[in-house]
């Protein structure tokens, strides 16, 4: 399976998230290939290094402004696009499923874009949030509020699942 791991690419991410996600990624990358935003830092860098260590296929997709990042990567395939939206669309089109891990603006952008595409019937693949150490609790609470106040419907919450351990994550991806 070609997994798109959406996650933070900054150095300085708190160790509790990095350590937890490393354990999960080491298991996921044993049997899955990786498509990612082509950065070797933060949790994203670890997803790359784990896939590399396991001899998996690695597809990097990057907007032209960050194409120099490919210099420190050994990808099976390197895709450079004009901008971030095109790079994101490549990952959307090519992945078989998405695992969302702790991250910042880029991670949230990718997640919400995918969910909006699912709402519009343009995306039908599995999306699983790995809620490492409760990282997404506040966002999930906010989404629940949006649903309760009528801004989103209950069916929109069905476009993704939330798990907090490897066994549940693997079970969701297998569905």
| Tens digits of residue pLDDT in 9-63 | 999 999 999 999 999 999 999 999 999 999 999 999 999 999 999 999 999 999 9
| Tens digits of residue pLDDT in 81-140 | 999 999 999 999 999 999 999 999 999 999 999 999 999 999 999 999 999 999 999 999
Pick from 21, 48, 23: nearest CA to 36 = 48
Q: Which CATH code for domain 2-174?
A: 3.40.50.450
**What's the rounded Cα separation, in Å, for the pair 41 and 10?**
6
**What's the rounded Cα separation, in Å, for the pair 158 and 83?**
30
CA 162 to chain centre: 13
- Domain borders along the chain are 2-174
């Amino acid at each position: 399976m070609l997994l798109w791991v959406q996650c933070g690419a900054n150095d300085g991410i708190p160790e509790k998230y990095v350590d937890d996600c490393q354990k999960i990624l080491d298991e996921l990358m044993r049997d899955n290939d990786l498509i990612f935003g082509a950065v070797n830092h933060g949790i994203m860098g670890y997803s790359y290094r784990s896939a590399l260590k396991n001899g998996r296929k690695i597809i990097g997709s990057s907007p032209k402004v960050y194409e120099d990042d490919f210099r420190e990567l050994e990808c099976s395939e390197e895709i450079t696009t004009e901008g971030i939206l095109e790079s994101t669309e490549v990952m959307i089109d090519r992945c078989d499923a998405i695992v969302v891990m702790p991250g910042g603006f880029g991670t949230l952008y990718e997640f919400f874009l995918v969910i909006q595409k699912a709402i519009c019937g343009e995306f039908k693949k599995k999306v699983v949030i790995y809620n490492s150490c409760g990282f997404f609790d506040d966002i999930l609470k906010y989404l629940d509020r949006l649903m309760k106040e009528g801004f989103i419907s209950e069916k929109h919450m069905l476009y993704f699942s939330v798990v907090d351990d490897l066994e549940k994550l693997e079970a969701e991806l297998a569905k």
